Amino acid sequence: SVQVWSDYLKVHLHPKSIFVIQQYNHDGESGCLEAFGQGESLMQDPVCLEELEDRLHFFVEECDYLQGFQVLCDLHNGFSGVGAKMTEMLHDEYSGKGILTWGLTPVIHKTGVSKHFFFSLSLSFLSQESEKDFYRLMNTALGIVHLSSQSSLFCPLSLSGSLGIK
């Protein structure tokens, strides 16, 4: 029974390395983590923050010589806010350690749909699409600003030249 993305992996991960955010689970009954602010507020929840810190400290204490951290973070959705707060926490707690942050964006395919099709769509659909594009743009911009200010090196990474933004 597949419940989370890690169930698809053939390599079993350490139980402390996975933290499922229940209120934004992908099972259809819960909402989506769409906005940067949602991710930031999630990381300000004391229960969530304490759980993440416990998991992080578990692995940090196992290190003989900790040199730094690598953070992979989606920029186009609310996980940019989660990543921003996480890198801020790493920067504050481990100020002498390097933080290499990868800002990941998807390739959004809208090719193969003619312009005439867009004109025939209802106005509500267009506003929903433009709202999603606006969220993607704001999440990406806020994520780049916050992640680059808290990281030793920030590298945006995408397979499209537009960082997933049209």
Cα 16 off chain centre by: 19
The predicted model scores a pTM of 0.77
Give the pLDDT of residue 124: 47
Pick from 57-66, 122-131, 156-165: least confident? 122-131
CA distance 71 to 12: 20
pLDDT of 12-55, one tens digit each? 778 888 787 777 665 554 567 888 999 899 889 899 889 999 99
- Which residues have a Cβ under 8 Å from the Cβ of 5 and sit 6 or more positions away? none
How far, in Å, CA of 123 to CA of 5, rounded? Answer: 35
User: Where do the domains of the chain lie, and which CATH numbers do they carry?
Assistant: 5-107+121-158 (3.40.50.1440)
pLDDT given at position 118: 41
CA nearest to 96, candidates 65, 71, 51 = 65
Q: What is the pLDDT of residues 117-133, one digit of tens each?
A: 344 444 444 466 677 78
Residue 151 banded pLDDT, cuts 50, 70, 90: very high
Query: Looking at residues 61-70, what average pLDDT do you find?
Result: 93
More confident residue, 89 or 109: 89
CA distances from 128 to 22, 86, 117 (A): 25, 30, 16
Mean pLDDT of the chain: 80
Average the pLDDT over 50-78 and give the result.
92
Share of the chain above pLDDT 70, in %: 76
pLDDT of residue 110: 59
Q: How far apart are CA 166 and CA 151, in angstroms?
A: 26
Parallel, antiparallel, or unpaired: how do β-strands 68-74 and 98-104 relate? parallel
Q: What is the identity of the amino acid at 146?
A: H
Question: Does pLDDT of 148 surpass 80?
Answer: yes
